[in-house]
A and B are shown apart, each in its own frame.
Chain A
């Protein structure tokens, strides 16, 4: 129907998503939300890959996106396991509680 979306727009979107993810990780105190914003960053990277793939009309971008998804899933699962243990030990998910090692 209307003109195809130009590659710059998609990259811009991916960039914005990426920066949102970074901001999320820095601002949020709760570990779950930090993991969540890291997920956003990973998806942004995936989006960039898909866009690049479409630019060169090669499937590689999408194959890469699938890999990114699997990796993100694995990483989040391990992350949640760790979060469970943190909650058992510290009774709170606030990242600033975990500051014993310093100097």
Chain B
């Protein structure tokens, strides 16, 4: 079946080319058909290949297909080869399946927009580059997908380009992710010079023999790859671009900034797990970053009033969980949480998009309310999504993935009580802001009237996603619920087992604790924002709390810091040096020669007697040179 592999990325690419070149001339119907159709076709193809992969796992556990040799210089010859193993199968499945649903949703959502063709072209290009990223067999091809994805996020964030703030947000996203990409590029160089090749399977095979555990080179390489991951997955130092990226249309936020692109970092770290295992310090850093990000993003989400920014911060926080899991060595748990998170976060974004469009572009949650009975389908799907996000035990899929990470935070070899406590606190805050969001948008009295009711094409994807948000969790039950761990058995072909501390038991106790914390969070949010809103008023009056609120609201002040530290100085230097100080040097030389000219032309005074004096001086000079030397 591997000869069909190239068709998966080929469909969206063809879609992109057709729409980009002929977009103007096609009718809206045909644009929708090509746009959504191409991704759905590759989704179907993924099912077929996935089914054949699962049923008869191929020799060596992967399909691979070489298209052509991209480049061949001295010992450096990367080829365009697609490589499908269990890990990339999961990612391809998520990308194509959720991508197809989102495309179908956006057929209706973007119906009113005039740049219909351009939207679908960019979305198809995005799916193509994301597929290339996950199917790449060597790091250079991965880097191609990596930058292609960055480009599409730039194009789509700045989709409504009339408004310059969207342009600014798009540029900000591209440049910050570019920071990470350059670090990753340097990582590629280091890896190339260590192993002589960029092909991932060879690297993973050579790494243990070339580097001993904890070698400085391994740490440097791992750190650089981590930097690339942080840039793309909007983790701690480089996370300021994601909240601004909400300027793009909602399907874009759903596909790119929730489900697929932001998890590219997780994929990279999971794919190159051997390098991370070889340098424990970096693994600790990954866990630390994950923990810190989930807390910071959680608190910021608590204070946002724009529904999409709440979801953006919640995405950052959930990816923080994934990084935490990766840091702990719980590779399969991270990927599992990625899959589940993709489902319910895409659902939440799409539903939020529907809500925003229903209230004709009203983003402020405090101005929404009482949509429970006006938009029943949206309400129920949004409820399931939030339940899964808040990790309501047993019924929601979110519980199973997050609980695993909580358990490994405590039980895994690298785990430690502090990490577990942070994760628990994170779970509490997640529950709080999810319920706050639910309460503010759907309960209470309606503040803005519903203008537009979402059509069938928008509700079906929501229902499908809601179904998965509920039942996708059952393929990986916790250990004490019986040994039904389908997902991790599949992934263990690629990723190593998570090593637990010796003699750890009582998983049930931790689950109960997590349950308690989640319900506590829900109850607290319910009280504060629904039952007794006057408590909030009381809190608002105290000045320190208000400053804390503003601090959290601005994403812990990272934006201002970067503005002062980096953006202002560079812009200042650029504008100071607008007309090139080096040019002054040459202007200086010309003015010097002109002054010399004026001095000399002064000697041409025109009077004969001056000429004679000149001649005599010349004669004296010559005679003196003659006689002296």
8 A Cβ contacts from A77-103 to B: 95-96, 98-103
A102 and B604 in contact, given A22-B616, A26-B616 (Cβ under 8 angstroms): yes
Contact of A25 with B by CB under 8 A: yes
A26 engages B608 (CB within 8 Å): no
Residues 55-73 of A, flagged 1 when their CB comes within 8 A of B and 0 if not, give: 0000000000000000000
Q: Looking across the interface, which residue of chain B has its beta carbon closest to that of A100?
A: B606
> B71 near A: Cβ within 8 Å?
no
Q: What 0/1 readout, one digit per residue, does chain A (29-65) give for beta carbons within 8 Å of chain B?
A: 0000010000000000000000000000000000000
- Chain A proximity mask over B574-618: 1 for CB below 8 Å, otherwise 0: 000000000000000000000000000100111111001100100
Which A residues are CB-close (under 8 A) to B612?
25-26
Report yes or no: A99 in contact with B607, Cβ–Cβ below 8 A: yes
Chain B residue nearest to A25 (CB atoms) is: B612
In chain A, positions 12-30 with a C-beta closer than 8 Å to chain B are 22, 25-26
The complex places the Cα of A74 from the Cα of B134 at a distance, in Å, of: 103
Partner of B606, one of A25, A26, A34, A101: A101
Do the beta carbons of A99 and B616 come within 8 Å of each other? Answer: no
Query: What is the minimal beta-carbon distance from B34 to any residue of chain A, in angstroms?
Result: 77
Out of B601, B604, B605, B613, which one reaches A26, CB within 8 Å?
B613
Report how far A97 CA is from B113 CA in the complex, Å: 87
In this complex, the interface size class of chain A, counting residues with CB under 8 Å from chain B, is: 10 to 19
* CB <8 Å contact, A95 and B609: yes
Describe B's contact surface by its main secondary structure: helix
Note all chain B residues with C-beta closer than 8 A to A100: 606
Taking a contact as CB atoms closer than 8 A, the residue among A26, A101, A102, A103 that contacts B609 in the complex is A26
Asked if residues B607 and A96 are in contact (CB atoms below 8 Å), the reply is yes
| Interchain CB contact under 8 A, B613 and A99 | no
Q: A22-B616, A26-B613 are in contact. Are A103 and B608 (CB under 8 A)?
A: no
Partner of A103, one of B601, B607, B616: B601
Nearest A residue to B616, CB-CB? A22
User: A98 with B604: in contact, given A22-B616, A26-B613, A26-B616 (CB under 8 Å)?
Assistant: no
Report Cα–Cα, A25/B608, bound state, in Å. Answer: 10
Contact A102 B606 (CB under 8 A): yes
Assembled-state Cα–Cα distance A95/B605 (Å): 13
Q: Which residue of B lies closest to A27 (CB)?
A: B609
- Which of B604, B609, B613 has the most C-beta atoms of chain A within 10 angstroms of its own C-beta? B609
Instruction: Report how far A99 CA is from B610 CA in the complex, Å.
Output: 11
Q: Which of the residues B604, B608, B613, B616 comes within 8 Å of A95, measured between beta carbons?
A: B608
In whole angstroms, what is the CA distance A100 to B606 when docked? 7
- CB-nearest residue of chain B to A98: B608
CB distance from A3 to the nearest CB of B (A): 31
Instruction: Give the docked Cα–Cα distance between A34 and B604 (Å).
Output: 20
Contacts of B605 in A (CB 8 A): 99, 102
Taking CB atoms, residues of chain B closer than 8 Å to A25 are: 612
Binding site for A on B (CB under 8 A): 601, 604-609, 612-613, 616
21 contacts between A and B (CB under 8 A): A25-B612, A26-B612, A26-B613, A26-B616, A34-B608, A95-B607, A95-B608, A95-B609, A96-B607, A96-B609, A98-B608, A99-B605, A99-B606, A99-B607, A100-B606, A101-B606, A102-B604, A102-B605, A102-B606, A103-B601, A103-B604
